[in-house]
């Protein structure tokens, strides 16, 4: 008998005693879907340099192979986000067919509005109408790619901002941003969504044109129901209560999805849950509640946005998915009735203890059981390391590695 099996039987009894519907928890764990990013499989770095890995993907087709590998071991990552032009290819039909053969679908399309020389002073907010036109045309090109690949999500992040007081007019830039967003929103397919991301700072150090969730919310609200806010876990000031803003956006039907990652001080390229796993759990508590509430919107895009610089690409992605599954499973074990009673009765300690009890639950046996039932190894990372997949890629791809490829907001 595998060591986790007896632990699962004990856990199952404990959860039943706590009034947890174990069958429903298992169902929801099986239905969880997490999108991985193409840029997480290629070589990347920091502003100081690129750290090449011999197993890194060299083109979009190899990125698909790596995404499919992660899905084989985790079972919950059937879609991959693309970044244009990093993932541009000559034959979109072939790319779509290759993804299908690998058991994947194409997820969010992410335009690049920050690397071209002309975007030095911004894209949609640039004072030069020629630059603004180019930026819009690029996003419209990406919408065309969405249609060819069957993608239903356009994910937008802007590096627009200024470095010094007086460099730009805040209101003029805001109006240009709104105008540009409205122009591309009008061309969005009727079954597609636009996700608007924000970032507190970087690369602009004085002000960023979409600096926080409130600004993204205002822009999205003015556009219409298919525009929503994308929450990147690494794009906030220290101390921001992310689970609170997530709940607020859920209630406003404006939460579009996530870029899951983690950060210590700034930026967002650390593995999700690696720095503050309790925060990730509390975010999942809000998501799990919304998914179970028939009055709440439920279609949230769970996407990873990480560029692994020191960690192995495949291992870091599998570990990230494991961390998200772990926090999500813990969130499903929260005794909602006990929590509501404690909240209604002003029982501060009792309410907090309900959350802590779920957070401290060892959910590995539960996840292992679900993984085995769906044909996966109970320990995906361990299985990946034993599979030889990384070594195979080193042999096939050699020491050259791939081009630099970060990610939106990287």
What integer pLDDT is reported at residue 269 of this predicted model?
84
Residue 49, phi-psi category: left (phi > 0), alpha (psi -120 to 50), beta (remainder): left
Q: Can you give the pLDDT of all 410 residues of the chain as single tens digits?
A: 568 999 999 999 999 999 999 999 999 999 999 999 999 999 987 778 888 999 999 999 999 999 999 999 999 999 999 999 999 999 999 999 999 999 999 999 999 999 999 999 999 999 999 999 999 999 999 999 999 999 999 999 999 999 999 999 999 999 999 999 999 999 999 999 999 999 998 899 999 999 999 999 999 999 999 999 999 999 999 999 999 999 999 999 999 999 999 998 877 789 999 999 999 999 999 999 999 988 876 689 999 999 998 999 999 999 999 999 999 999 999 999 999 999 999 999 999 999 999 999 999 999 999 999 999 999 999 999 999 999 999 999 986 555 444 444 44
CA atoms within 13 A on the CB side of 198: 23
Classify residue 123: in a domain, yes or no.
yes
What integer pLDDT is reported at residue 294 of this predicted model?
85
Domain that holds residue 219: 33-331
What integer pLDDT is reported at residue 46 of this predicted model?
77
Classify residue 310: in a domain, yes or no.
yes
Classify residue 398: in a domain, yes or no.
no
Classify residue 380: in a domain, yes or no.
no
User: What CATH number is given to the structural domain containing 71?
Assistant: 3.20.20.150
Classify residue 309: in a domain, yes or no.
yes
Classify residue 308: in a domain, yes or no.
yes
Classify residue 18: in a domain, yes or no.
no
Distance CA 356, CA 358 (A): 5
What integer pLDDT is reported at residue 130 of this predicted model?
98
What integer pLDDT is reported at residue 356 of this predicted model?
98
What integer pLDDT is reported at residue 405 of this predicted model?
47
Residue 359, phi-psi category: left (phi > 0), alpha (psi -120 to 50), beta (remainder): alpha
Tally of domains in the chain: 1
What integer pLDDT is reported at residue 95 of this predicted model?
98
What integer pLDDT is reported at residue 249 of this predicted model?
97
Classify residue 7: in a domain, yes or no.
no
């Amino acid at each position: 008998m595998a060591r986790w099996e007896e632990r699962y039987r004990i856990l199952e009894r404990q959860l039943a005693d706590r009034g947890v519907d174990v069958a429903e928890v298992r169902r929801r764990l099986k239905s969880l879907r997490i999108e991985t990013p193409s840029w997480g499989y290629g070589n990347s770095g920091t502003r100081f340099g690129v750290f090449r890995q011999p197993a890194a993907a060299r083109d979009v087709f190899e990125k698909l192979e790596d995404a499919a590998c992660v899905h084989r071991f985790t079972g919950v990552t059937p879609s991959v986000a693309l970044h244009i032009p990093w993932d541009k290819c000559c034959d979109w039909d072939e790319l779509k067919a290759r993804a299908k053969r690998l058991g994947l679908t194409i997820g969010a399309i992410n335009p690049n509005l920050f690397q071209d020389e002309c975007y030095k002073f911004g894209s949609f907010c640039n004072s030069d109408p020629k630059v603004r036109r180019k930026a819009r045309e690029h996003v419209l090109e990406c919408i065309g790619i969405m249609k060819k690949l069957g993608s239903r999500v356009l994910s937008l992040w802007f590096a627009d901002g200024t470095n010094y007081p007086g460099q730009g007019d805040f209101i003029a830039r805001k109006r240009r941003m709104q105008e540009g967003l409205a122009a591309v929103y009008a061309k969005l397919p009727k079954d597609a969504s636009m996700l608007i991301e924000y970032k507190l700072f970087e690369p602009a150090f004085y002000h960023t044109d979409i600096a926080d969730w409130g600004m993204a919310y205002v822009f999205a609200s003015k556009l219409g129901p298919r525009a929503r806010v994308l929450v990147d876990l690494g794009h906030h000031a220290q101390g921001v209560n992310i689970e609170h803003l997530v709940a607020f956006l859920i209630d406003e039907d404006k939460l579009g999805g996530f870029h899951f990652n983690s950060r210590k001080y700034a930026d967002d390229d650390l593995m999700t849950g690696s720095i503050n796993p309790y925060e990730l759990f509390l975010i999942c508590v809000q998501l799990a509640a919304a998914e179970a509430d028939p009055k709440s919107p439920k279609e949230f895009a769970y996407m990873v946005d990480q560029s692994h610089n020191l960690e192995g690409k495949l291992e870091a992605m599998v570990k990230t998915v494991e961390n998200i599954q772990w926090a999500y499973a813990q969130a499903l074990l929260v005794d909602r009735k006990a929590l509501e009673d404690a909240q209604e009765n002003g029982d501060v300690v009792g309410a907090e203890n309900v959350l802590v009890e779920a957070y401290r639950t060892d959910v590995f046996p539960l996840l292992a059981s679900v993984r085995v039932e769906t044909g996966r190894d109970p320990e995906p990372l361990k299985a990946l390391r034993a599979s030889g997949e990384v070594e195979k890629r080193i042999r096939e791809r050699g020491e050259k590695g791939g081009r630099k490829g970060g990610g939106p907001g990287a």
